[in-house]
């Protein structure tokens, strides 16, 4: 398949890996954070770890959208779905994420709440059109990649005069989280593999502060194995040459200024939140968006006066440390014992983009 097979060529992968082995300084450690869960998945799935020198380590970051949503937001959605007239629509992965006291959206559905799995924001609009006597709430999550489709759904709902459609908005922003990771310094990283899809929206220029303020090399990388290995080589070269630049390996999709139409759509419907809680990273200022005053009618938090809820993660789960890049999944005592993809105890074991699920699924431990 064009644009897929050619980026999975084993000979080329070994050739690129050999260059990394040749160019790497054996006297130092190289720790590169893959910010995006898609890269975490690719690294485990294709065994990219195994091609790398011993002194080069991939550190997993907070780029899995399901993983970074704190349990309190899921708890709030469960409470909302308990109202008889509400239909809560959301994506499959979120249904299985543990909330407080072993609860989840799936369990709430089993208790009788009307919670429906959808594939896109337009599916939620369709549910609203089909159920004019019910309140349909779209539980929206994700980084900048999924924010424009949510904005489009809200705009369509207004154009159609849909009175029974709202969005519980949990869209988060990549650069503030990246800056937080860098400012804390606790992950001790030497470079960042920048996200692919997010960067198609926000553009490569969005990471300028990461490089200039924290002297951090960053390479925007595609998702295929050759993309990841070539981007790793680019990072190794930046480190060896003492450069701290935003480089773009994923030139077939990412432009410097990103997708300006998508940015305009987001700016029309959303505004920055003063603060948003992330699982693992805590309360981060201006790190998420909320629906602005012009579209306030479609804001579920306002229509249903939703309250902030606090819920502790399962005892023993170290998802927060995994998301900050300071622990590996197999350092968790529950990993592959009490916690598996079939019975996840933490968010990082639910989605295929979660570091724990990726490591468990592809059985690679190093
Ligand atoms: Fe949390 Fe399970 Fe990962 Fe442990 S293995 S950190 S419990 S998701």
Output the CA 110–ligand 1 centroid distance in Å: 24
**Nearest atom of ligand 1 to the alpha carbon of 344:** 2
- pLDDT tens digits for range 263-279: 999 999 999 999 999 99
Ligand 1 close to Cβ of residue 323 (< 6 A):
no
Are 214 and 30 a contacting pair, CB within 8 Å? no
Ligand 1 close to Cβ of residue 332 (< 6 A):
yes
Q: At residue 55, does pLDDT exceed 70?
A: yes
The predicted structure's pLDDT at residue 313: 80
- Give residue for tokens 């773009």: 248
The predicted structure's pLDDT at residue 1: 65
The predicted structure's pLDDT at residue 205: 96
Tokens at residue 79, please? 């409470």
User: Mean per-residue pLDDT for 114-139?
Assistant: 97
Q: Which residues pair with 338 in a beta bridge?
A: none
Tokens at residue 234, please? 């680019």
Q: How confident is the model at residue 366 (pLDDT cuts 50, 70, 90)?
A: very low
Ligand 1 close to Cβ of residue 97 (< 6 A):
no
Write down the mean pLDDT value for the chain. 94
**Nearest atom of ligand 1 to the alpha carbon of 347:** 8
Question: What is the share, in percent, of the chain residues with pLDDT greater than 70?
Answer: 98
Computed over its alpha carbons, how large is the radius of gyration of the chain?
21
Q: How confident is the model at residue 364 (pLDDT cuts 50, 70, 90)?
A: low
- pLDDT tens digits for range 278-336: 999 999 999 999 999 999 999 999 999 999 888 888 889 999 999 999 999 999 999 99
Mutate to test the pocket of ligand 1, among 62, 320, 329, 343 (most ligand atoms within 8 A of CB): 329
Ligand 1 close to Cβ of residue 319 (< 6 A):
yes
**Rounded Cα distance, 319 and 312, in Å:** 12
Ligand 1 close to Cβ of residue 355 (< 6 A):
no
3-state secondary structure string across the chain: CCCCHHHCCHHHHHHHHHHHHHHCCCCCCEEEEEEEHHHHHHHHHCCHHHHCCCCEEEEEEEECHHHHCCHHHHHHHHHHHCCCCEEEEECHHHHCCCCHHHCCHHHHHHCCCCEEECCCHHHHHHHHHHCCCCEEEEEEEECCCCHHHHHHHHHHHHHHCCCCEEEEEEEECHHHHHHHHHHHCCCCCCEEEECCHHHHHHCHHHHHHHHHHHCCCEEECCCCHHHHHHHHHHHHHHHHHCCCCEEECCCCCCCCCCCHHHHHHHHHHEEECCEEEECCCEEEECCEEEECHHHHHHEHHHHCCCCCCCCCCCCCCCHHHHHCCCCCHHHCCCECCCECCCCCCCHHHCCCCCHHHHHHHHCCCC
Q: Which residues pair with 88 in a beta bridge?
A: 115, 137
- pLDDT tens digits for range 142-191: 999 999 999 999 999 999 999 999 999 999 999 999 999 999 999 999 99
pTM listed for this prediction: 0.94
ipTM of the complex: 0.99
Domains along the chain?
Answer: 67-173+258-303 (3.40.50.11740)
Output the CA 279–ligand 1 centroid distance in Å: 13
**Nearest atom of ligand 1 to the alpha carbon of 319:** 6
| Residue with CA nearest ligand 1 atom 5 | 335
């Amino acid at each position: 398949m064009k644009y897929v097979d050619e980026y999975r060529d084993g000979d080329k992968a070994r050739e690129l890996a050999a260059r990394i082995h040749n160019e790497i300084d054996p006297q130092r450690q190289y720790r590169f954070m893959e910010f995006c869960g898609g890269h975490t998945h690719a690294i485990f799935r294709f065994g990219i770890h195994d091609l790398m020198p011993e002194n080069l380590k991939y550190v997993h970051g907070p780029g899995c959208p399901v993983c970074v949503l704190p349990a309190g937001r899921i708890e709030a959605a469960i409470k909302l779905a308990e109202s008889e007239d509400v239909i809560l629509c959301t994506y499959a992965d979120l249904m299985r994420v543990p909330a407080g006291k072993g609860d989840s959206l799936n369990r709430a559905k089993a208790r009788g709440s009307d919670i429906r799995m959808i594939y896109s924001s337009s599916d939620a609009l369709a549910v609203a059109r089909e159920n004019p006597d019910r309140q349909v709430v779209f539980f929206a999550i994700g980084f900048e990649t999924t924010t424009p489709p949510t904005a489009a759904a809200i705009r369509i709902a207004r154009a159609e005069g849909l009175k029974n459609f709202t969005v519980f908005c949990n869209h988060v922003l990549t650069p503030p989280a990246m800056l937080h990771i860098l400012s804390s310094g606790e992950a001790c990283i030497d470079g960042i593999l920048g996200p692919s899809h997010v960067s198609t929206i926000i553009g490569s220029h969005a990471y300028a502060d990461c490089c200039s303020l924290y002297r951090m090399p960053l390479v925007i990388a595609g998702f295929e194995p050759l993309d990841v290995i070539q981007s790793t080589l680019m990072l190794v070269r930046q480190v060896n040459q003492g450069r701290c630049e935003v480089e773009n390996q994923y030139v077939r999709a990412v432009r410097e200024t990103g997708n300006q139409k998508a940015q305009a759509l987001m700016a029309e419907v959303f505004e920055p939140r003063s603060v948003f809680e992330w699982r693992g990273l805590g309360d981060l200022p201006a790190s998420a968006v909320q629906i602005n005053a012009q579209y306030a009618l479609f804001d579920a938090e306002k229509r249903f006066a939703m309250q902030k809820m606090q819920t502790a993660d399962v005892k023993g789960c170290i998802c927060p440390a995994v998301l900050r890049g300071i622990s590996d999944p197999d350092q968790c005592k529950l990993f592959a014992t009490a916690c598996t993809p079939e019975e996840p105890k933490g968010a990082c074991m639910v989605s295929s983009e979660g570091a724990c699920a990726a490591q468990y699924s592809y059985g690679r431990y190093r």
